[in-house]
A and B are shown apart, each in its own frame.
Chain A
Amino acid sequence: MNILVCIKQVPDMESKFKVNAEGCWYDSSDLAWRMNEYDEYAVEQAVQLKEQTGADLTVLCIGPDRVKETMKKALAMGCDRGIHVTDAESFDKDPFAIASIIAKFAEQKSFDMIFTGMQSQDRGSAQVGVLTAEMLGIPSITTIVSFAFDAGQITVQRELEGGVKAMVKAPLPALVTCQLGLNTPRYPTLPNIMKAKKKELVVTPVADLLGVAVLQETLSLYFPEKKGGGVVLEGDSAELADQLIAILKEKTAVLA
C-alpha cells in the first residue's frame, strides 16, 4: 500500500498579524510557524495506517524553504519520505491551484490512500482535499472523526453539526479530510527526530507540477472593524478581580 499525507505550514494563530506591502496577504516576517492543526491529525492517522499495513508513507508540503521544519516533524512522527514542492508564492495560490499541484504529483504515484486536513487555519477554505480527489477521480470524504481500514475498504465517521456523526464506507483508492479530535497526534521522540534527519526529502520546483492558473484573487486583506462594544481591562490581577466583581454586580444578577 502507498499512502500520501498533505500538510501545510501556518502561522501560530496567537501571532500579531500585519498586512503585507501588497495589501493582499499577511506579512510573513516575525511569525512563529507550525504544522496546520488539522494536518497533525492527518499525519497521525496516516502513520497509524502505515503501522497497521506496513505501507509506504510520503508527506507532501508546498511552500518556501521554511516549510522544511514542519516537514521534519511529520518525518519524525513516522512518514518515510518528504516531497517539498518549493514555492515562495504558495500563499498567493488558490485552492484550485494547490490541489492541481498535489494531483499532478499524485497521479504518477498511484496512491491507495490520501490524507489531508479538513481545512487550513489561515485560509480556511476546506477545499483542497476534495478538489484533489475530484482531479484524481477518486472518492473523498470530509471532516472525519474516526477511521478504520479493513479488506480494501475504509469505514469512517463524518462529524456533523451538533456532534451527530454520519457513518460512511468507501473502497480504496480514496481521500479523507481530517477533523480535530480524530486521534491523538504523537509527539516525536528524540530518537525519531534523529532518524528523521536521515530520511529522504525530495525537492521539486513548483513549476514542474503547476499547469493551471488561479481562479480567484485576493483583492485586499485587512483587519475587521471592531463591532464589539465591550470594555477591555488590563492590569494587576487583584485590582482586575475587584473591577470585574463590581461590573458583575451592576450588570448581572449572578452575584446577588
Chain B
Amino acid sequence: MKILLVAECREGRLQANINDLLGFAAKADAESALFLVGTQEELPKFAGTLYLADSSTYGEYNPEIHKQLLLDTIDTVKPDMVIFSHSSYGWDLAPRIAFALKAAQISEVVDFVDGKPIAPVCNAKLRRTVAPKTAVTILTLQAGAFSLAEEPTTTPTVEAISTTATGKIEFSGYQQADIGGVDLSKAQVIVSAGRGIGKPENIAIIEGLAKALKGEYGASRPVVDSEWAEHNRQVGTTGQTVSPKLYVACGISGAIQHLAGMKKSEFIVAINTDKDAPIGEVADVLLIADLKQFVPILTDKILAM
C-alpha cells in the first residue's frame, strides 16, 4: 500500500501533528510520501520523498491553490490513501481533494484495524468501523490518536513543486489569540466550569472551590462563548493546554477538543450527572452528582479543614 501524508506549516513553523501522520504510516505499514506547503528552512525529518511547495509563494492558507498542488502530487505518487490531520488545515483541504477524486473521506479517525478506519460518533460516546468503497481513500486523523515512538532522523529527498492555479479566496494574515490576565499554565489546581453550570451566576460556585483549593478557575468553550468567562480561561485545543496537579471538571462532557487541553493533568476529578459522559475516560475519579448541590458542600468541607 502507498500513502501520501499531508503535513502543515503555520507562521513558518512545521506543525507537530506530522508525528500523527508518521505514526499512522508506521501502523498501516505503508510506503509513504510527504506533501508540504512550507519552507526549506523547516524541513521535516522523513525517510522518503517530500513534495514541497514554497509557502512564501502559495501562502499558508490558500485552499484552492493548495488543492491543485496536492492533486498534482497525487497524480505523481498515485497513493491508495491520502492522510491529513483532523485540524483546521486538514478538515478544510481534505474534502476538496475527496471531491476532486470522488474518493471516500473518513474524518477524525482514531484507529485503523484490519485496514478499516474507525471514527467517533456522538462526542465519542460511540464508535464506528467504516468501509470505504472507492479506490482512493482520504482520512483525517484525530489529534494524538496515532503517534510515532521514535522520531525519524533522516533528511527527505525534496521534490520542489509548483502550480499556476489561482483562487478566489484571499488570505491576509493571522490574528493572535488574546492572552494576558490569568496564566492557567502556572496553576497547581484548576477547577473548570462547563455548560453544566447552567447559568453565569454559577461561575461563583466554581470559583469558590478553586479558591478553597488555592487554584484558578478555568472553563470549557461554551462557557467562554457565552461570555460567562474570559477567553484566557478556556481550556482545550483552541484555548490553553494545562497540566496542573489537580484538575476538577464540573459539568464538562469531555469532548476531544477539551480533553486535548487537560488530559495530561496529574490527577483528574470529574463531576457530572451523566454516568456515560466521555470525561469519565480520563478521570481518576468520576462523581455522579449535580454540581450545583455537590460543589458548595465540598467547598465548605475543604474550608472547614
Do B167 and A139 touch (CB < 8 A)?
A: yes
Do A252 and B267 touch (CB < 8 A)?
A: yes
Residues of chain A contacted by B78 (CB below 8 angstroms): none
Residues of chain B contacted by A184 (CB below 8 angstroms): 226
With A224-B124, A228-B280, A247-B285: A131-B99 Cβ-Cβ less than 8 Å: yes
- Whether A16 is near chain B, meaning CB under 8 Å from some CB there, is yes
Do A255 and B126 touch (CB < 8 A)?
A: no
With A164-B175, A181-B225: A237-B61 Cβ-Cβ less than 8 Å: no
Contacting B at CB under 8 A, from A142-173, are 142-143, 157-171
Residues of chain A contacted by B108 (CB below 8 angstroms): 124-126
For the side of the interface on B, what is the size category?
A: 35 or more
Do B224 and A181 touch (CB < 8 A)?
A: yes
Partner of B174, one of A167, A171, A231: A167
- Whether B199 is near chain A, meaning CB under 8 Å from some CB there, is no
Do B100 and A134 touch (CB < 8 A)?
A: yes
Residues of chain B contacted by A118 (CB below 8 angstroms): 91
Contacting B at CB under 8 A, from A195-244, are 214-224, 226-228, 230-234, 237-238, 240-242, 244
Query: Which of B86, B126, B176 counts the most chain A CB atoms within 10 A?
Result: B126
With A218-B128, A223-B125, A241-B298: A131-B98 Cβ-Cβ less than 8 Å: yes
- Whether A21 is near chain B, meaning CB under 8 Å from some CB there, is no
- Whether A130 is near chain B, meaning CB under 8 Å from some CB there, is yes
Partner of A223, one of B127, B170, B231, B284: B127
For the side of the interface on A, what is the size category?
A: 35 or more
Residues of chain A contacted by B267 (CB below 8 angstroms): 248, 251-252
- Whether A123 is near chain B, meaning CB under 8 Å from some CB there, is yes
Residues of chain B contacted by A223 (CB below 8 angstroms): 125-127
A61 and B242 CA atoms in complex are apart in Å by 39
- In the complex, the chain A residue whose C-beta lies closest to that of B168 is A139
Do B126 and A240 touch (CB < 8 A)?
A: no
- Whether B156 is near chain A, meaning CB under 8 Å from some CB there, is no
A164 and B179 CA atoms in complex are apart in Å by 11
Do B301 and A245 touch (CB < 8 A)?
A: yes
With A130-B92, A164-B174, A228-B280: A17-B10 Cβ-Cβ less than 8 Å: no
With A130-B92, A226-B281, A231-B284: A237-B98 Cβ-Cβ less than 8 Å: no
**B interface with A by C-beta (< 8 Å):** 10, 61, 63-64, 86-89, 91-92, 94-96, 98-100, 102-108, 116, 119-134, 140, 167-178, 188-189, 213-215, 221-222, 224-226, 231, 234, 237-239, 245-246, 253, 266-269, 274-277, 280-289, 293-294, 297-298, 301-302, 305
Closest 3 CB pairs between A and B? A163-B177, A181-B225, A215-B104
Q: Jot down 24 A-B pairs with beta carbons below 8 A, ordered by A.
A: A19-B126, A94-B104, A95-B95, A121-B122, A124-B119, A127-B105, A139-B167, A143-B88, A163-B234, A167-B172, A180-B221, A180-B222, A216-B105, A218-B129, A219-B128, A219-B129, A226-B281, A230-B284, A230-B285, A232-B286, A241-B294, A244-B269, A244-B298, A248-B246
